[in-house]
DNA sequence: GGTTTTATCATGCGAGTGCATGATAACCGA
DNA sequence: TCGGTTATCATGCACTCGCATGATAAAACC
């Protein structure tokens, strides 16, 4: 599926937008945020530039669309992996691991997320979109920590909110160093397990 | 100090390069990495574009120069604040705090660092320059942790290397969330103290 | 079947890009 | 005092950018 040419009307607008957003992702991943342009994205998406403009009124909106799409992508992945766990501590561990660049797809997502993290410092709309996911993750973490505490999996004296914040910061902070190869996937997992082990009820 | 015009020969090349690098920093901070151009930087530095080209052969080299400059800037700040502490634990705490966006100057440095972190994912030279500082900081952390352990300030059973990695990741990971206002400076410091407290020898 | 709507494309425009070049002063060593 | 080096600038070039416009064809509607 590469080239459409003059066959209108039965199109799924959401699918088109998704297609464009994914082309933006690939451009960001392969060439970097500074190389994102309407032309480059159109070429990557296999459409004319005019068609991209038909679905997206401005470049900023195109980037925002790509950002929102990747946020729901990550959100879906986290929700799916969390649902697959049995104990609160497993949810916690699996969720953090899901956020880290431990295989190709997660590295892909993290590279793009990193680019948006930087570009959102200067773009208010992107910053707002970026902020959306954070409280959800933090409260998921805190909730699982509390559940693990009542289940006797984690020490009762822990401050769930603070532990959640620390855990999330750790996950965010280890990304870049791992992406550049400073840690192996096994090393990162060992680091996480080391940290979680100290939170255990003895 | 804004405009030179036709007064050559007694110039300090390093000073000129520093001046250009700082202009790059301001452009990145105020308008974002994508708006960095020879023209914009020249205007910000108060020189003609040709003069910038005289000191910097290419745009990539200009960015690399700005990256190296900010790395030594941060390194100097960390070294200075570390030298001012008396116990290993104080060094550890003060060094981490120095890396966080807790006041205007540190926010300034962190915004720029974040931009380079993203752009270095796609530029190999920048990635190499970025990697340089990490081992130094990690080994400083590990060293101070070990010193604190022998001094009885931190629990003896801690894995100094792993704790150093976790601490550094925490510092890196809390930056963006703090920059967008999700944490107050006091909240971040409290988070760090909470984490350090659990490492204490009882 | 003719008209309107929807989707796609090619093209043009003014602005901005990185980089190269030639001119022009100010200083230095003779 | 004079040629040569050093530093600065203005300008030009080929290219890309975001965005606007007009043409065109297929589908939908009547």
Q: CB within 8 A of A67, min separation 6: which ones? A: A116, A120, A126, A129, A130
Tell me the pLDDT tens digit for each residue of A30-65: 999 999 999 999 999 999 999 999 999 999 999 999
Q: Could you tell me the CATH number of the domain that includes residue B157?
A: 1.10.357.10
**Residues B113 and B163 placed together within one structural domain of the fold:** yes
Q: Give protein residues whose Cβ lies within 7 A of nucleic acid chain D.
A: A 6-10, 35-40, 49-50, 53, 57-60; B 3-9, 11, 13, 16, 47-51, 53-55
Cross-chain residue pair A127–B191, CB shorter than 8 Å = no
Q: Which of A34, A170, A176 sits opposite B33 (nearest CB)?
A: A34
Domain match, A87 and A52 both: no
Contact A100, A193 (CB under 8 A): no
Q: For strand C, which nucleotides have at least one atom less than 7 Å from a protein CB? A: 5-11, 16-22, 24-28
Q: 């925490």: which residue's tokens?
A: B170
At CB < 8 A and 24+ separation, what contacts does A26-30 make?
A28/A66, A28/A111, A28/A112, A28/A115, A28/A116, A29/A108, A29/A111, A29/A112
Do residue B162 and residue A114 have CB atoms under 8 angstroms apart? no
Encoded tokens for B82: 């570390």
Task: Specify whether B104 is located in the same domain as B24.
Answer: no
Q: How far apart are CA A141 and CA A93, in angstroms?
A: 10
CB B170 within 8 A of CB A166: yes
Q: Tell me, what's the pLDDT at A7?
A: 40
What's the rounded Cα separation, in Å, for the pair A12 and A4?
13
Q: Quick check: A189 contacting B, CB < 8 Å?
A: no
The CATH number that applies at residue B19 is: 1.10.10.60
Same domain, B100 and B157: yes
Indicate whether B46 pLDDT > 70.
Answer: yes
pLDDT digits (tens, 9 = 90+) for A1-38: 223 333 435 668 899 999 999 999 999 999 999 999 99
Q: Are A201 and A156 in contact (CB under 8 A)?
A: yes
**Partner residue opposite A170 with nearest CB, options B32, B111, B170:** B170
Distance from residue A43 (CA) to nucleotide C13 (C1'), in Å?
21
Contact call for residues A94 and A82 (beta carbons, < 8 A): yes
Of B55, B52, B45, B105, give the one whose Cα is nearest residue B76.
B105
State how far residue A46 is from chain B, nearest Cα, in angstroms: 23
* Pair A78, A148 in one domain: yes
Say if residue B3's pLDDT is above 90.
no
Measure the CA–CA gap between B48 and B5, rounded to whole angstroms: 10
Residue B106 CA: distances (Å) to CA of B23, B78, B91: 17, 11, 18
| Rounded distance between C-alpha atoms, residue A9 and residue B123, angstroms | 42
B107 near A CB under 8 A: no
Read off the tokens for B133: 């500082």
Q: Are residues A75 and A153 in the same domain?
A: yes
Indicate the residue of B114, B127, B169 with minimum beta-carbon distance to A118: B114
Q: Which residues of A39-74 are buried (b: 16+ CB within 10 A; e: fewer)?
A: ebbbebbebeeeebeebbeeeeebbbbbbbbbbebb
The answer to whether residues A166 and A85 belong to one domain is yes
Residue B179 with chain A: CB contacts under 8 Å: 121
Which stretch of DSSP H or E encloses residue B67? helix B59-83
Q: Is residue B160 part of a domain?
A: yes
CA dihedral over B134, B137, B141, B142, signed as positive or negative: positive
Is residue B201's pLDDT more than 90?
no
- Tell me the mean pLDDT in the region B74-101: 97
For residue A55 the two structure tokens come to 């679905």
Query: What are the pLDDT digits (tens) for A149-189?
Result: 999 999 999 999 999 999 999 999 999 999 988 999 999 99
| Chain B closest-CA separation from residue A153 CA (Å) | 18
Identify nearest nucleotide to residue B37 by CA to C1′ distance: C17
pLDDT for the residue A121: 80
Q: Nearest residue to C7 (CA, C1')? A: A8
A142 and A173 share a domain?
yes
In terms of CA atoms, which chain B residue is nearest residue A197? B158
Of the candidates A70, A71, A165, the residue with the CA atom closest to the CA atom of residue B173: A165
B124 burial level (CB within 10 Å; 0-12, 13-18, 19+): exposed
Residues B96/B105, Cβ–Cβ less than 8 Å:
no
Q: Which nucleotide is nearest to B36 (CA to C1')?
A: C17
> Does pLDDT of B7 surpass 70?
no
Residue B47: inside a domain, yes or no? yes
Residue A183, pLDDT score: 96
What is the domain extent for residue A45? Answer: 8-57
Residue range B65-89: mean pLDDT, rounded? 97
Average per-residue pLDDT for chain B: 93
Cβ contacts from A onto B, under 8 A: 119
Nearest to A149 by CA among A164, A136, A134: A164
Cα separation, A42 vs B21, in Å, equals 35
Can you give the pLDDT at residue A134? 95
Chain B residue closest in CA terms to A171: B173
* Per-residue pLDDT reduced to its tens digit, B103-120: 999 999 999 999 998 888
Whole-number Å distance between alpha carbons of B48 and B39 = 8
Note whether residue A202 is domain-resident. Answer: no
Q: Report helix, strand or coil for B154.
A: strand
**What is the rounded radius of gyration, in angstroms, for the C-alpha atoms of chain A?**
20
Question: Per DSSP, what are the bridge partners of residue A154?
Answer: A200
Residues in B closer than 8 angstroms to A169, CB to CB, are: 169-170, 173-174, 177, 191
Task: Verify that A51 and A64 share a domain, yes or no.
Answer: no
Whether residue B1 lies inside any domain: the answer is: no
DSSP B1-37: -----S--SS--HHHHHHHHHHHHHHHHHHH-GGG--
Whether residue A200 lies within 8 A of chain B, CB to CB, comes out as no
Has residue B8 got a pLDDT over 80?
no
In a domain, B67, yes or no: no
Same domain, B90 and B148: yes
User: Could B122 and A31 be called an inter-chain contact, meaning their C-beta atoms sit closer than 8 Å?
Assistant: yes
- Which positions 29-58 of A are in contact with B (Cβ < 8 Å)? 31-34
Name the domain boundary from A17, A33, A57: A57
Taking only the tens place, the pLDDT of each residue in B160-188 is 999 999 999 999 999 999 998 899 999 99
Say what the pTM is: 0.90
CA distance B149 to B162: 14
B17 class by beta-carbon count within 10 Å (0-12 exposed, 13-18 middle, 19+ buried): middle
Q: Are residues B176 and B84 in the same domain?
A: yes
pLDDT digits (tens, 9 = 90+) for A90-137: 999 999 999 999 999 999 999 999 999 888 888 899 999 999 999 999
Could B32 and A134 be called an inter-chain contact, meaning their C-beta atoms sit closer than 8 Å?
no
Nucleotide nearest to A43 (CA to C1'): C9
The count of domains in chain B is: 2
Residues constituting chain B: 202
Asked if residue B180 and residue B108 are part of one domain, the reply reads: yes
User: Closest-CA residue in chain A for B135?
Assistant: A182
């Amino acid at each position: 599926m590469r080239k459409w040419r003059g066959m209108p009307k039965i199109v799924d607008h959401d699918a088109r937008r998704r297609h464009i957003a994914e082309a933006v992702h690939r451009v960001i991943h392969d060439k970097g945020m500074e190389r994102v342009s309407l032309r480059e994205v159109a070429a990557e998406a296999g459409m004319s530039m005019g068609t991209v403009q038909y679905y997206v009124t401005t470049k900023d909106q195109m980037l925002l669309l790509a950002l929102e799409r990747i946020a729901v992508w990550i959100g879906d992945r986290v929700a799916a992996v969390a649902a697959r766990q049995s104990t609160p501590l497993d949810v916690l561990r699996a969720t953090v691991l899901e956020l880290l660049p431990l295989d190709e797809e997660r590295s892909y997502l993290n590279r793009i997320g990193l680019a948006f993290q930087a570009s959102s410092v200067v773009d208010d709309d992107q910053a707002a979109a970026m902020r959306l996911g954070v409280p959800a993750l933090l409260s998921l973490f805190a909730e699982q920590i509390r559940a693990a505490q009542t289940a006797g999996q984690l020490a009762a004296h822990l401050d769930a909110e603070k532990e959640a914040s620390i855990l999330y910061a750790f996950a965010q902070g280890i990304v870049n160093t791992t992406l550049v190869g400073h840690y192996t996937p096994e090393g990162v997992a060992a680091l996480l397990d080391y940290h979680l082990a100290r939170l255990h009820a003895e």
